[in-house]
């Protein structure tokens, strides 16, 4: 079967790489892909939001399955668009993708179905939000309702910061219509964990757990980023937390979606805060995480294509998923200045160095220019290594990262450091 992967990041390189290993896969296409994706497929110069051009390409190239990486096309209804044309596509419909594209939709669904999450209030008027802030305790979390390139969440430490966030979102419309409505919620404390769940509308299968490292600098300091590195399995998750997640989150969520007439088929990625009172849902994403995908998929022994097919066909209950028992660590190499302003077009050296089998280099913000690979984004590469221990995986990942060079390259030196020596019991 020919497969089309939509998107251009490290997540999409990892998805294409894993799908290529499937016995059912023939040609893999990436739209638009990056300088790494030609290792496993063919790049097609169609942007992820040009649905008619993507449909045309899928029809002309006998694509048996399209896999959507990023949230934007899902929120824009790419799945409905493809299905209306009789094409098979992996991902939630536009109405199901509201779980990510509207934080208020997700919050109301969670409330209605008793799913543990931060207590919050919804506002449509800036004045009411400001009045609420004046009565609140801090820190407090302010969220734009819609998609805002991962920048729509502000943790305000006092009234002034809170009011500035409300002003930026609701009055200045810094995130456009995403800030038409906002959510103000209690600030939870604990440790975060990324769960990836294949959902077929009726049943679900957990993928391996992971932990992201969102802050730009060592010691969880500096500004928030899309993710500077990851670890799998998560060292803060357990069989007991899994049971609580099944009972308190997944069951009521599927029931709640069904009674709302929404069928979720695709990958659900709940971000959890593990608090002293148990797991709380911070957010639902409706697509694979980045860099979580780059740390999870190298541990997957099963056929990803078959799992995607089972998700679409509603037969996940008949599947079993096998995992490599080793730990995986992913280190993200970023452009100088990221997540702020950065330059692109810097030549990258050291990509051709011979590497152990347990090391994978996934491209993110890269492009080819006159036969050379140059930087083309904030997060440039994701270096993943497997190891018998977290310490071994870290050593291998950092060894590989140290062989790659480009002007301004920076990466965190402490990815998964907190998990070294931790007893890791689950997948």
Shortest distance in whole angstroms from residue 226 CB to ligand GLY: 6
Which 289-318 residues touch ligand GLY, going by CB under 6 A? Answer: 289-290, 292
Residue 127: exposure state from Cβ atoms within 10 A (0-12, 13-18, ≥19): exposed
Which 347-406 residues touch ligand GLY, going by CB under 6 A? Answer: none
The β-bridge partners of 323 are 300
Shortest distance in whole angstroms from residue 141 CB to ligand AMP: 4
Which 263-302 residues touch ligand AMP, going by CB under 6 A? Answer: 271, 282-283
Contacting range for ligand GLY; rule: CB under 6 A; set: 19-27, 118-126, 286-294, 359-367: 286-294
Shortest distance in whole angstroms from residue 289 CB to ligand AMP: 10
188 binds, among ligand GLY, ligand AMP, none (CB under 5 to 8 A by kind): ligand AMP
Q: From the list 31, 35, 55, 188, which residue makes contact with ligand AMP (rule: CB under 6 A)?
A: 188
292 binds, among ligand AMP, ligand GLY, none (CB under 5 to 8 A by kind): ligand GLY
Shortest distance in whole angstroms from residue 223 CB to ligand GLY: 15
187 binds, among ligand AMP, ligand GLY, none (CB under 5 to 8 A by kind): ligand AMP
Shortest distance in whole angstroms from residue 97 CB to ligand GLY: 14
- Which residue lies nearest ligand AMP, judged by its C-beta? 283
Task: Note whether 185 binds ligand AMP by CB under 6 A.
Answer: yes
Q: From the list 141, 348, 373, 393, which residue makes contact with ligand AMP (rule: CB under 6 A)?
A: 141
Three-class secondary structure assignment of the chain: CEEEEEECCHHHHHHHHHHHCCCCCCCEEEEECCCCHHHCCEECCCCCCCHHHHHHHHHHCCEEEEEECCHHHHHCCHHHHHHHCCCCEECCCCCCCHHHHCHHHHHHHHHHCCCCECCEEEECCHHHHHHHHHCCCCCEEEEECCCCCCCCEEEECCHHHHHHHHHHHHHCCCCHHHHCCEEEEECCCCEEEECCEEEECCCEEECCCEEECCEEECCCEEEECCCCEEEECCCCCCHHHHHHHHHHHHHHHHHHHHHCCCCCEEEEEEEEEEECCEEEEEEEECCCCCCHHHHHHHHECCCHHHHHHHHHHCCHHHCCCCECCCEEEEEEEECCCCCCCCCCCCECECCCCCCCCCEEEEECCEEEECCEEEECCCEEEEEEEEECCHHHHHHHHHHHHHCCECCCCECCCCCCHHHCCCCCCCC
Asked if residues 377 and 35 have their Cβ atoms less than 8 Å apart, the reply is: no
192 binds, among ligand AMP, ligand GLY, none (CB under 5 to 8 A by kind): ligand AMP
256 binds, among ligand AMP, ligand GLY, none (CB under 5 to 8 A by kind): none
391 binds, among ligand GLY, ligand AMP, none (CB under 5 to 8 A by kind): none
Q: How far apart are CA 141 and CA 165, in angstroms?
A: 10
Contacting range for ligand AMP; rule: CB under 6 A; set: 74-82, 185-193, 307-315, 355-363: 185-193
Residue closer to ligand AMP (CB basis): 378 or 387: 378
Shortest distance in whole angstroms from residue 278 CB to ligand GLY: 22
Q: From the list 34, 66, 117, 285, which residue makes contact with ligand GLY (rule: CB under 6 A)?
A: 285
227 binds, among ligand AMP, ligand GLY, none (CB under 5 to 8 A by kind): ligand GLY
- Contacting positions for ligand AMP (CB under 6 A): 118, 141, 153, 155, 185, 187-188, 192, 214, 271, 282-283
- Contacting positions for ligand GLY (CB under 6 A): 212, 226-227, 285, 289-290, 292
């Amino acid at each position: 079967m020919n497969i089309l992967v939509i998107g251009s990041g490290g997540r999409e390189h990892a998805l294409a790489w894993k799908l290529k290993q499937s016995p059912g896969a023939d040609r893999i296409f990436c739209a638009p892909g990056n300088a790494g994706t030609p290792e496993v497929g063919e790049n097609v110069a169609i942007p992820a939001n040009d649905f008619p051009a993507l449909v045309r390409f899928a029809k002309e190239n006998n694509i048996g399955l399209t896999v959507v990486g990023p949230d934007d096309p899902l929120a824009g209804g790419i799945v409905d668009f493809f299905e209306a044309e009789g094409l098979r596509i992996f991902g939630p419909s536009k109405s199901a993708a509201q779980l990510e594209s509207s934080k208020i939709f997700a919050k109301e669904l969670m409330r209605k179905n008793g799913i543990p999450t931060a207590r919050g209030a919804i506002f449509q008027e800036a004045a009411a939000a400001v009045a609420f802030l004046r009565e609140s305790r801090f820190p407090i979390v302010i969220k734009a309702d819609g998609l805002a390139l991962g920048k729509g969440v502000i943790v305000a430490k006092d009234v002034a910061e809170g009011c500035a966030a409300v002003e930026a979102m609701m009055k200045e419309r810094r995130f456009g219509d995403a800030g038409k409505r906002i959510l103000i919620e209690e600030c939870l404390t604990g440790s975060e964990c990324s769960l990836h769940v294949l959902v077929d509308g009726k049943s679900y299968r957990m993928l391996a757990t992971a932990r992201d490292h969102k802050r730009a600098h060592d010691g969880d300091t500096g500004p928030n980023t899309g993710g500077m590195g990851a670890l799998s399995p998560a060292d803060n998750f357990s069989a007991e937390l899994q049971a609580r997640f099944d009972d308190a989150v997944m069951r009521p969520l599927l029931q709640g979606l069904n009674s709302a007439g929404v069928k979720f088929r695709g990958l659900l990625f709940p971000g959890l805060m593990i608090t002293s009172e148990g797991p709380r849902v911070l957010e639902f994403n409706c697509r694979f995480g980045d860099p979580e995908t780059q740390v999870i998929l190298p541990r997957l022994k099963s056929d990803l294509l078959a799992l995607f097919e089972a998700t679409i066909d509603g037969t996940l209950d008949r599947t079993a998923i096998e995992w490599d028992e080793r730990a995986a660590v992913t280190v993200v190499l970023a452009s100088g200045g990221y997540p702020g302003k950065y330059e692109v077009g810097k030549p990258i050296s050291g990509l051709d160095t011979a590497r152990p089998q347990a090391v994978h280099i996934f491209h993110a913000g890269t492009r080819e220019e006159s036969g050379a690979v140059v930087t083309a984004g904030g997060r440039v590469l994701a270096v993943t290594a497997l190891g018998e221990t977290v310490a071994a995986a870290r050593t291998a990942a950092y060894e590989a990262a140290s062989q790659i060079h480009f002007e301004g390259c920076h990466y965190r030196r402490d990815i998964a450091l907190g998990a070294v020596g931790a007893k890791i019991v689950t997948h």
